[in-house]
Amino acid sequence: MLSLKIIVNQGGSKLRIVFMGTPDFAKESLEAIFNAGYDIEAVVTNPDKPKGRGMKMIASPVKEFAIEKNLKIYQPVKVRNNVEFIDELKKINPDVICVVAYGKILPKEILEIAKCGCINVHGSLLPQYRGAAPIQWAVLNGDKTTGITTMYMDEGMDTGDIILKRKVEIGENETTGELWDKLSKIGGELLVETLKNIENGTAPREKQGENFTMAPMLNKDMAKINWEDKNSEEIKNLVRGLNPIMGAYSFIDNKKVKFWKVEKLELPLDKQTLKNGTVIISDSKQGLQIKAKDGIINVIEIQGENARKMGIGDYLRGNNIEVGKVFE
């Protein structure tokens, strides 16, 4: 176990920290350690990216927070073989490097800079769901629980020794976006607790087990609903898991329709012989119900081509989907 006994002053901690992260998930952790009084010597985040119709350069949520709090910011295009950037980190001489959804793989040379190592906040209960999309895959797979893990980073893909874990329940209708927000808050809390343990020399260090699963990046091909092969639970989980990232979709009358929120219902006996994907009910008051392999998909929120997302009642008041037509 790493042991670094540091006494905290009245004004805050003596741990010198470099924080590396990019999206809102990481911003919550940065804000948590800032509010806890830790000495954040530098913030490293991805370069600004063009966004929107005007392709305006947009800063990451982590950078925006760092600017607000007057923290020193680095935005290297690459970190591997970046001698100038690595030398800067060495000059800072941090006790800990905290890495939360940074978006780049760190080379060994950076992993070895901090006295107490690189600490990562990961959105699953490791060794389950190593990789880029652990939160999304937990929802896509219909898991009932997930959590946050802090770990000492090594050169592998989320293979480092575990420090702390916190388990959370996944709601039956919870989306990836909702779970993301919940876990981001918990991630910040657990990072603060982890740093306190490192200060006190009481941080556990547990090797990961060999029974692991992976959570690879999502791709657009997986968003199309397969009405023939997927049951109603799997379709519901696909919709939840891709909300708000890209949205599960299907085609009707050669038009693409995205589903943002659905629920599953029992399939009446007299509808069991219908082709999967068949529209059973389509009415602004009764809603939109579609036959699935073993049940009915009741659509709650939908988005037509080149349109905004809306409740199904509003959508059907302006768009006609005929009963008997088939989603493909």
Q: Reduce the secondary structure of the chain to three states and give it as a string.
A: CCCCCCCCECCECCCEEEEEECCHHHHHHHHHHHHCCCEEEEEECCCCEEECCCCEEECCHHHHHHHHCCCCEECCCCCCCCHHHHHHHHHHCCCEEEEECCCCCCCHHHHCCCCCCEEEEECCCCCCCECCCHHHHHHHCCCCEEEEEEEECCCCCCCCCEEEEEEEECCCCCCHHHHHHHHHHHHHHHHHHHHHHHHHCCCCCECCCCCCCECCCCCHHHHECCCCCCCHHHHHHHHHHCCCCCCEEEEECCEEEEEEEEEEECCCHHHCCCCCCEEEEEECCCEEEEECCCCEEEEEEEECCCCCEEEHHHHHHHCCCCCCCECC
Average pLDDT over residues 294-307: 96
Give the model's pLDDT for residue 8. Answer: 39
Q: Does position 5 have pLDDT exceeding 50, yes or no? A: no
Average pLDDT, the chain: 95
Q: Where are the domains of the chain?
A: 16-200, 220-318
pLDDT at res. 70: 98
Under CATH, which number does the domain 16-200 receive? Answer: 3.40.50.170
pLDDT tens for 231-247 read 999 999 999 999 999 99
For residue 282, pLDDT beyond 50: yes
Instruction: Taking residues 272-286, report their average pLDDT.
Output: 97
For 220-318, which CATH superfamily applies? Formyl transferase, C-terminal domain (3.10.25.10)
pLDDT number for residue 54: 81
Mean pLDDT to the nearest integer, 265-287:
96
Res 52: pLDDT: 80
User: How confident is the model over 52-94, as pLDDT tens digits?
Assistant: 878 899 999 999 999 999 999 999 999 999 999 999 999 999 9
| Confidence (pLDDT) at 13 | 61
pLDDT over 80 at 2, yes or no = no
Share of the chain above pLDDT 90, in %: 93
